[in-house]
Chain A
Amino acid sequence: MPDWKSSCLCLPGFYLGLALFTFTGDAVAQNPPAAADLLELPLEELMAMDVAVTTAAKRPQAFFDTPAAISVLTAGDLRRSGVTHIADALRLLPGVQVARISASEWAVSVRGLNGRFARYLQVLLDGRSLYTPMFSGVNWDELDLAIEDVERIEVVRGPGGTLWGANAVNGVINIVTKPAHADGARIVAGAGDRGRHVLSGQWGGQHGTVKYRLSASDKREPGLQGEDSGLREDDWRSQRLAGRLDWSGEGHRFSLSLAALHSQDSPYFADLRPASVQASNATALLPINQEKQGYSFQGTWLSELTDVDSLALRLSYDWTERESDAVDWETSNADLDIEWRRQQGAHDLTLGLNSRSSRSRAEGVGGYPIVIVPEQGELNTMSFFGQDQWRLHPDWDLVFGLRYDNQSEAQDHWQYHWRGLWRASERQRWWLATSRARGTPSRIATDPSEIGFAQTQAEPFPGVMVPARILSVNQENVLSSADLRAYELGYRFGGDRLTADLTVFHHRYDNLLAAEFIGLRMQPGHVDILTRFDTLDDVRAEGAEWAFSWRFAERWLLQYNGSVINYRNDSVDSGLGALRASAAASAEVPSNQHALRLLGQVGGVQATLTVRRIAALDSVDIDAYTALDATLEWQPVPGWRVALIGRNLIESDHVEAEREAFFADRFEVEPSVLLRLEWRQ
């Protein structure tokens, strides 16, 4: 159990929503009543009331008026996309880089610095921060929710650290599940090629003022095949059980959720055990047979103190254990968040503190070179933050936010943002932001460690080639976390048939984690190439992101989004060594990506077609690819829905990414089909 005296408070999820809300002006100022309060009023009286939005734009006003690069996927988008995992759904959003590594592993990032162990994104599930204290990134396989349980996914590109927590360097992904009462009973069953299946059920209802929901899901995802080795991974199986209770009373609201997960997969790792390294000249593959289990608990309490003040509290705890033939690790996080808010006049002020206490343990299995000392370690963070949104003028908003993070294993730091919004006309918005965001410390960067991450060959003496492995050996704490200064400019247009959203950005990073060569260590039968963590400064990225939506006919909608990004690192160019360069390159993302989506309805059939074009990754020699996803959905009888889903249909097999550590082979993403049945009461 967490030690609350030293635990930290983190409420990142909270803030995403909060900030979005905060950025909207009118609704706040007019103190809107809820529908229930209005129902008994006669129509004449209702017609005399002012509506609290100044435009008739149908798109969610808050997004339109938010001075940040933000986009959202709704439950409808998710269902139409036909995806079975959240990571694949994120491909539909502009500027989000998603690449599949194996059946159960993804590299997901925003604005670059991607990888299996990417660590510059704040990912939240109903406000609970999901990054692991081991490497500050997210294990996407642990986030295997039934897609039907998700209400929406909001993505903020660019720094959001001031409001959303220490890890929101490159962006924030906020996954919001449906409230307890959203659906009654529901069953979804789907089957496809190679034994692929999805199965989920939900039962919800209401008892007095308490609303409840129980849901369960089971999935089987076929393993992928290695490009060189021809080896096929075992299938990935995963199960999840979740429950939620929502209760509301006068001026209070309470929500409690519990979830448990279990999953089995077997990605291939490079076999870095000494005996295997000595025995082979090429990289030996080890199927690591992973078994994962975990649970999470969360309680939120919301209270209205006065007409203008409100208080929110969130408490969560999660525990995850991963056991495999290469490494066993176990992590737990305890979070507490408190937030006070006052909305008065032209100001909307938020003050809060959050605390996160993480414990983690990792050890190599059967001689696999993973050692972190001490085996069981702890990281604590306590943060204080504040933000004011000020409506200077009906057409101008100014937002300033500041955050201070006190960390047990790294230097304390400050984060800030300034944002401005100009309502240039009813249909147009301009926004500008400058911010500084910091990464969060992780066990691999703060504690002494020795971790093997690749197999290769070395030439310790001229003409003598011997098997080798590359190890990262660290004695010292990398005290300073990633540091980003960002400048962003955005424009939005919201017409009746056409909408546009454009963003340009400039990012400058310091203290990015990289590796430098420190020497060779002779071993019986092989050589260890030793590296240690180093930090890269002055890494710059520039880019643009765009999204257009055009309703060209009554039943048809065409969407196009894309992004370009260009990374520059002067210190790599100045010749600090191949290893450093490769460390930076391993975080490379495609220089451009595009997604074109056509949605329409023909008779009773709803059709969705998506074409994605992703540029090549030159540093790791991955080709550009084009993928076509298609979903056809219809309703044979009321209450039932049938969907036929095809994904990755154009290109036969393609590689999207290679794991930057423990690399064994590259695995090919194949065309897939799924027939999905849904029953809903």
Chain B
Amino acid sequence: MKRGWRLILGVLVLSSSALAQQPMAALKVAYVYNFTKFIDWPAADSGSVLTLCLIEPDPELEVQFRALDGRSVGEARMRLLRLSPADDISACHVLYSEEPLPVAGDSGVLVVTDQSRPGSVINFSVTGQKLRFDIDRGEARRRGLKISSRLLRLAREVR
């Protein structure tokens, strides 16, 4: 197990606040990675790179997301981008934001948020001790995203 050094490293190099979030952050990253396997992006957008954007991520969350940088999903390789809320998101395939700000309606962007809010396609929720997610099919359709029925079945709520 790598717990020890990771924790202490966080203390030294990052900061502690994020540490307690670590398991949550790690789980979210793994969920997001899994989501990408069940989504079809608009044909025009499918290329060899799958861009994953984070809006002003918490440092620990960003460290966890870096595990995805360069990893392949199907034929594409994932690339991580760090953005500020005012940035253009049209180049993103997946956008994850903890901040409950609404997200621009660009098509082809899978918007994943912590809470349900305008523009989000998938939002996380914690039920008991488990991490769950809701899917907004209407929003997915508006953004031209196709979500596999297997993912829909796993969702807590499909709107």
Contacts and interface: CB of A to CB of B under 8 A. Distances in A.
Contact of A555 (B27, B56, B102): B102
B9 A302 contact: yes
B67 A36 contact: yes
Interface in B44-103: 56, 58-59, 62-68, 71, 82, 84-88, 90-91, 98, 100-102
Nearest to A24: B20
Given A31-B1, A39-B30, A551-B100, A312 B16 contact: no
Contacts of B90: 638
Contacts, number: 243
Contact of A20 (B17, B114, B129): B17
Contacts of B62: 182
Most B CB contacts (10 A, CB to CB) among A304, A307, A555 go to A304
Interface string A147-171: 0000110100000000000000000
A255 B13 contact: yes
A175 to B, nearest CB: 10
Contacts of B34: 42-43, 46
Nearest to B98: A58
B101 A638 contact: no
Nearest to A11: B12
Contacts of A310: 4-5, 7-8
Contacts of B9: 248, 253, 255, 302
A35 B67 contact: yes
Contacts of A74: 56, 58
Given A152-B59, A309-B4, A641-B84, A18 B23 contact: no
A18 B11 contact: yes
B62 to A, nearest CB: 8
Contacts of A460: none
Contacts of B98: 58
Contacts of B18: 60, 62
Interface in A45-100: 46-56, 58, 60-63, 65, 72, 74-76, 79
Contacts of A252: 5
Contacts of A34: 2, 6, 22, 26, 64, 67
Nearest to B25: A35
Nearest to A74: B56
A279 interface: no
Given A35-B29, A255-B13, 13 more contacts: A18-B16, A20-B15, A42-B34, A46-B34, A49-B27, A154-B15, A253-B9, A304-B1, A304-B5, A307-B4, A343-B4, A554-B101, A606-B84
30 contacts: A16-B16, A19-B16, A33-B26, A35-B26, A38-B27, A39-B29, A39-B67, A43-B154, A46-B31, A49-B27, A53-B23, A56-B126, A60-B21, A61-B20, A61-B21, A65-B20, A76-B56, A151-B14, A154-B17, A176-B13, A179-B13, A255-B9, A302-B12, A304-B2, A343-B3, A551-B100, A554-B100, A554-B102, A633-B84, A635-B88
Interface of B: 1-27, 29-31, 33-34, 56, 58-59, 62-68, 71, 82, 84-88, 90-91, 98, 100-102, 114-115, 117-118, 125-126, 129-132, 151, 154
Interface of A: 13-14, 16-21, 24, 26-28, 30-39, 41-44, 46-56, 58, 60-63, 65, 72, 74-76, 79, 126-127, 151-152, 154, 174, 176, 179, 181-183, 246, 248, 251-253, 255, 300, 302-310, 312, 314, 339, 341, 343, 496, 551, 554-555, 601, 604-606, 633-635, 637-638, 641
